[in-house]
Structures are given as structure tokens and as C-alpha cells.
Amino acid sequence: MEQQFELIAKTFMGLEPVLAKELARIGAADIKEGRRMVSFKGDKELMYRANFQLHTAIKILKPIHHFKARSADDVYEEIKKIDWTQYLDNDRTFAVDAVVFSEEFRHSKFVSYKVKDAIVDQLREKTGKRPNISVSNPDLRLHIHIAEDDATLCLDSSGESLHRRGYRQDSVEAPLNEVLAAGMILMTGWQGDTDFIDPMCGSGTLLIEAALIARNMAPGLFRKEYAFEKWPDFDAELFDNIYNDDSQEREFSHHIYGYDVDVKAVNTARLNVKAAGLSSDITIAEQDFKDFLQPKEKAIIVTNPPYGERITTSNLMETYRMIGERLKHQFQGNDAWILSYREECFEQIGLKPSIKIPLYNGSLECEFRKYQMFDGKLKEFRSEGGVVKTDEEKRQMAEKHRFRKEREFKQRLTEQIENEDADIRSFTFHRHELGTDFKEKRIPREERGERREERGHHDRFDGKDDRFDRKGDRFDRKGDRFDRKGDGFDRKGSRFDRKSDRFDKRGGKPQYNSSENRGGHERFDRSGRGRKK
């Protein structure tokens, strides 16, 4: 059995418990939740699976050195102690990202430069030449995190953020992040056992993420590249086996519906659904929420209506009153989950939520609320055996102030820090063993598809004014904001050819093929996704 090592999965604030459950399912050991991250242990296979299969992870980092950083000289000397010839040579490029919370180091870029200097100086002393730095598409991406004087240097195994699945062809204004969408769905407990509805679907992110969860499909299916594929010890056969293992995928017998009043959003959502090869599971139509009618089948609503921040309506309060009215009269017997930012918006819904979960959407500290719709009075509903709040929901409600005590509901964060780039700390790992049991199909690498296109994206960290208040081991949450610019990123070069965009359900497994259309059914041959040889 291959030796296990320390790993860190980064995520958004509020999704840590969901990510921890996902890690347990894929066989991670020593799982420990932190702030915007979950630490765990695993081998190379688990690291590959974490990148490929986790719905709520943003990055998977592999720590290689922990040290005390009391000065710039400490950083330089500690980094220089590492034998960098095992990771780099003069023909390979690298880049360094940094997140810093320290009185000693006021700017993350300064720390990045010290790390780069140490690496370059060591290799120049050993080889007589200096390696090259690449900010766009490096062969090795490093991440250093400093909290006061505790420093952790990691290899970034993911590359660009894992929320960039690869299926998004276009977007609308203020699109919902894919990782956040998946986390919201997993929080509801929905696993494809009912119909799924988003009456304000925008570009269709919730719909697509719901379909992936319902079919238990890996979100990495559409992605073209991971950073670990450029590492010297990359095991191509192992990763090909993981990619081609569809034994855990399942049938989905219900359906997913998306509606939006904006015709552009409807067209964008249809384009994205088609790119994901999920048109047989998802139906999208132009419809105003005010025209929503009671569904014939049991269903769940999960939606992210406008907040009046980046997207607004002519009468925001009236929109939320309409949402409450539709749910009360046209969604009886079902559950609805709504993510919003303003307390006054929730008040207009006029319904009592059974659970409120703090959750960040971009820089906004929102709440994700569940509304259980039933006919008649609450007392009668309970007398008939109805459960308004499960034990797990009661536990979550007891932890609703876990972000911080005396939380101000509408607090907008003031500093511009990437949520996905902040607050990884060093942890003392606890022990409990979880086994793995995976079935694998072998497909020769030479049968794989064409060479991948090189990407030009680079996730830069800007730790400007990243401050940290350690009083009582609590964080100063002021200014913990991240810039969501670029969420409507350009996916040029990563588009799939989804001719006919239909599933072949023969054999009970969704299979696709971006290159051919057989008998009117689209098959997606996992061996031809165009990965690099």
C-alpha cells in the first residue's frame, strides 16, 4: 500500500462540513475541519480522486514543509533547505502563490518573491543555471500560507480553481459559483430521489450540479487538466483508471426543471446543459415565477433569487412577496430552499423557515433557509406525524453562529481577498481510519484522445492587507471579502462538441462521446476526453 501523506482541501466558508462528508465517502483518513478548509490524509490515488470527484473543493494542496517564519530571512533559509531538484529542473517553470496573515509580513507578494529567490538561488548553485518563472501556465505551482509565524509550503495539485468544471460555455450577470451551488444542494440532503426545480435558474448552474449529484457523476469529467499531471511522479495509468471508472454512477429516474423570466438566461442555461451532455435530465423553459404552478410529482426547490446587489428587479420586495405567495399556494407538500442576503427580503416571504444556515455568496454573508410547505396548521401537521425540523437540522441551527458570535446578518466584507485563497492553517491531525474500495477499468493510455490544449489561466493570490486577529484564537472577520470578478470567465479552448446532446441509457450508465453520434444517442467515451499524453 502506498504511503499516506498530509493533504488540504480548500472550500468556501460554511461548506466545510459538507466537504468533510465528501472526503469520508472517498476514503480519506484523519479528516479535520478548519476554516475554509478540511485537512486529511491519503495516498496518491486519493489525491487524484479528491481533485476529480469532490463537488465542494476549490483546491487540493499537498503540504511539503512546515516551519516558523519570524522574518524574511527565515522564509528564505527554510525554503532553501528543501531539495528542489526533486521537483524542478532548468527546463521546468514554476510559480508561487501566497496568503499571509502576519504583522511581520504585510504583503503576500513579498513572501512569494522570497520563496522564488530561495528556489532560484539553490538551483543556480547546483546547476549553474536558473529556472524560469511562469505566471500563466507553470509546470509546478507552489502555495505558501503564513499565519503569524506558522508557515506551510504546499504543492498545488489542482491548478486553476476546481469550480471551473469545464461545462460552462456562457454565463449571465453574477453567476452562482459551481462549488457553492453543489454545496447548497448537498446541504439539502437531496440525492435525486425527487424532481428538482430552480424557478430562477439563471445560467443553469444549480440544475447542472444537481444532475451531476443525482447521477453521482464526477465534476471533473469535463475538465481538461490538473496541475499534478505535470509533476515528475505523475502516474498516468492510475489517473486514467480513476477517470474511466464509472462503476459508482447511477440511474436518475426523476427530472430537473429550470425556469427564468429572462430569455437570454434561458438560452445560456440550455447551452451550458447541452455542453454538459445532460439535456435528457434537465428541461429549461422561459417562465416567470409568478406563473409557477403546483408540480405533479414530489419535488424540491433550490433557488438563488436576486438580492438587490449585483442583480436587482424593479421591485425587489414585491418579488420576495410573490415568492412566498407561490410557495404557500403552489408548492404544498414539498420543501423549498432559498439563498438570499437581505433580512428584509426574507421577511417579505412571510413564511417561517425550519432552518437557517449562514453561507457566503461572494463577499456577501447570506443565509440559506429551508421552508417546509404543508397544508393546514402546524399543530395539525405535527399531530399527523409531520416533522418540521430533523435532529440534524436542530444541531445545525444550534451552530448557526459558527461564523462568529453576534453575527451582523447583512455584513458586507470590506477587504478584497479571494475567499478561495484565504485562511489555511496548520493543524494537529487526529486519527481515525477509513478504508477505500474502488473498482477500476483499465484502458491503455495509447487509446486515449488527442493532446490537450494548454491553458493560459493562472490563479494569482493577492494578499494585500491580509490581516489576522489572533486574540483568543479567533479571527477578525472584518474585511474578509473576495473579488468575484471573472466568474463569467471565457472558456475558449475548453468547449466540448456535444452533437445531439442525448444520453444513451443502455446499460443504466450515462455515456458520452464528443466526437461521434451513434444512432441518435450521444455517447461520451471517457477514453477520448483529449487528455495530454
Rounded CA-CA distance 525/448 in Å is 9
- With a cut of 60, say whether residue 413 has pLDDT above it: no
CA angle 367, 370, 373 (to 5 degrees): 150
pLDDT at 500: 40
Per residue in 183-192, pLDDT tens? 999 999 999 9
In sequence order, the β-bridge partners of residue 38 are 9, 33
Say what the pTM is.
0.74
Query: What 8-state DSSP symbol labels residue 112?
Result: H
State the residue for C-alpha cell 504543492. Answer: 155
Q: 90 to each of 27, 232, 428, 482, how far by Cα in Å?
A: 37, 13, 36, 35
**Per-residue pLDDT tens over the stretch 125-164:** 998 888 888 777 899 999 999 998 999 999 999 999 999 9
Which of 9-18, 73-82, 424-433 is predicted with the least confidence, judged by mean pLDDT?
A: 424-433
pLDDT digits (tens, 9 = 90+) for 273-302: 999 999 999 999 999 999 999 999 999 999
pLDDT above 70: residue 451: no
In the predicted model, what is the mean pLDDT of the chain?
Answer: 77
Q: Say if residues 448 and 531 touch (Cβ distance below 8 Å).
A: yes
Bigger pLDDT: 306 vs 480: 306
Asked if residue 448 lies in contact with residue 454, where contact means CB atoms within 8 angstroms, the answer is no
235-254 pLDDT per residue, tens: 999 999 999 999 999 999 99
DSSP string, 224-283: ---GGGGSTT--HHHHHHHHH--TT-----S-EEEEES-HHHHHHHHHHHHHTT-TTTEE
